[in-house]
Structures are given as C-alpha cells and as structure tokens.
C-alpha cells in the first residue's frame, strides 16, 4: 500500500475574510440545478459548503497540496491552471483570484505564491481568467470573481468589458488596508445551446 503524502496546510490558502465574502455571494447565486465550477479552490472550504446546494460542483487548483486537501473533503477536484483541460460550460464559476500586487522580491518560491501573487499590478492571473471565461459559461451563466481595491476595480471592469462581459459589484467589505469586492461577470450576448458541465 502506498502511503499518502501529508497535507501541508502552510502551502495553500486558508479560509479568511475574502473566502467568507465569496461564499456568501455564491450561496446567494446557487440553485438546485446549478452546474458550478470553482477555480483555485484552495482548502476546498467554499466548494464543500456550496456543493450541497447545487447539482454538481467541480473544483480545480494548480497547487498539488490544495488538490489533496480538497479531495480529503470529498470534493471532485482536478489539478489545473485556471481553465486548462476544462471543456464543459457552467452556470456558476467562482474564483478567489490571487489579487495582491507583488514584486519579484516578495515571492517566496513556495506553492502558496499561487494563491497570493497577482503580478506587479495584481491583475496578471485575473486578466487570464477573464480572457477565457466566456468560453466556459452557459447561456445566462455568471462568474463571481473576488478582487481587492489594490487590484484596481476600474481596470478589472474595463478588461471584462473588453472581453464582452458585464461586470457588476454584488458584494464588498472593508478589510484592514483594502476593500474586497465580488464582481459578477456575465456574457453580454448569450449564445444558444448549453454545455455539459463535464471536463
């Protein structure tokens, strides 16, 4: 029998104020028929809470430590970089993005960087997410993206609009030296037909 590698909680993001804010927004969007996807699930806390409220929930994370932690919670999770390998379409997509502006000297070189490091302007991963989002939304589908005031709310909205997406703040909360925002993103022009929500 092969021994299971221990889960290192210091190598992935633990639930914090932004986690709970995104979860509240997600629960307000969830319906029993919802096919949901969480990108960057971290510990799996949101996926576990939301999974009981929707028809199906798939989670992804690039961090192998996070993937093991989510699987330990009984979550259907795959290791992937954002939408890599995801071919289906979903009613609801969640992403607590790495949104902190980060200089090269601030990076630790550890897996936890993937949860925190938003590049020098805080939008490096956010922009990649937005670029591919519409391909994975069912007609009428929406995404909830959590960012910070440090990320640049106006700039993120402009990026979303340039990608043919609507962008509406549906929740926000002050937190220490920043303000957290949950943006609801949706396609401006919905296409006909629907996807399977499968990988």
CATH number of the domain at 152, please.
3.40.50.150
Residue 88 CA, chain-centre distance (Å), reads 16
Q: Which residues contact 109 (CB under 8 A, 6 or more apart)?
A: none
For the cut 80, the answer to whether the pLDDT of residue 64 exceeds it is yes
State pLDDT tens for residues 165-179.
999 999 999 987 889
With respect to residue 199, please indicate whether it lies within any of the assigned structural domains.
Answer: no
With respect to residue 7, please indicate whether it lies within any of the assigned structural domains.
Answer: no
Provide the domain limits for residue 86.
12-187
- The backbone region for 168, taken as left when phi is positive above 0, alpha when psi lies in -120 to 50, beta otherwise, is beta
State pLDDT tens for residues 128-152.
999 999 999 999 999 999 999 989 9
Helix (H) or strand (E) holding 96: strand 90-96
With respect to residue 108, please indicate whether it lies within any of the assigned structural domains.
Answer: yes
For the cut 90, the answer to whether the pLDDT of residue 101 exceeds it is no
β-pairing verdict for 178-187 and 137-148? antiparallel
Mean pLDDT of 31-57: 96
The DSSP 8-state label assigned to residue 197 in this structure reads -
With respect to residue 42, please indicate whether it lies within any of the assigned structural domains.
Answer: yes
Give residue 117's pLDDT: 53
With respect to residue 5, please indicate whether it lies within any of the assigned structural domains.
Answer: no
β-pairing verdict for 90-96 and 35-39? parallel
Helix, strand, coil shares of the chain, percent, nearest 5, are 30, 30, 40
Q: 73: closest CA among 144, 9, 1, 145?
A: 9
């Amino acid at each position: 029998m092969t021994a299971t590698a221990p889960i290192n909680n210091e190598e992935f993001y633990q639930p914090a104020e932004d986690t709970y804010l995104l979860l509240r927004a997600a629960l307000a969007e969830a319906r029993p028929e919802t096919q949901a996807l969480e990108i960057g699930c971290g510990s799996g806390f949101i996926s576990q809470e939301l999974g009981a409220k929707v028809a199906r929930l798939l989670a992804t994370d690039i961090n192998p430590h996070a993937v093991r932690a989510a699987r330990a919670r009984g979550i259907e999770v795959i290791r992937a970089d954002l939408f890599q390998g995801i071919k289906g379409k979903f009613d609801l997509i969640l992403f607590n993005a790495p949104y902190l502006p980060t200089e090269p000297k601030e990076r630790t070189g550890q897996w936890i960087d993937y949860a925190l490091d938003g590049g020098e302007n805080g939008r490096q991963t956010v922009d990649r997410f937005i670029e591919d989002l519409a391909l994975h939304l069912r007609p009428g589908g929406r995404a909830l993206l959590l960012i910070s005031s440090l990320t640049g709310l106006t700039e993120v909205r402009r990026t979303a609009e340039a990608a043919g997406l609507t962008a509406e703040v549906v929740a926000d909360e002050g937190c220490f030296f920043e303000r957290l925002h949950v943006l609801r993103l949706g396609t401006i022009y919905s296409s006909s037909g629907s996807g399977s929500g499968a990988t």
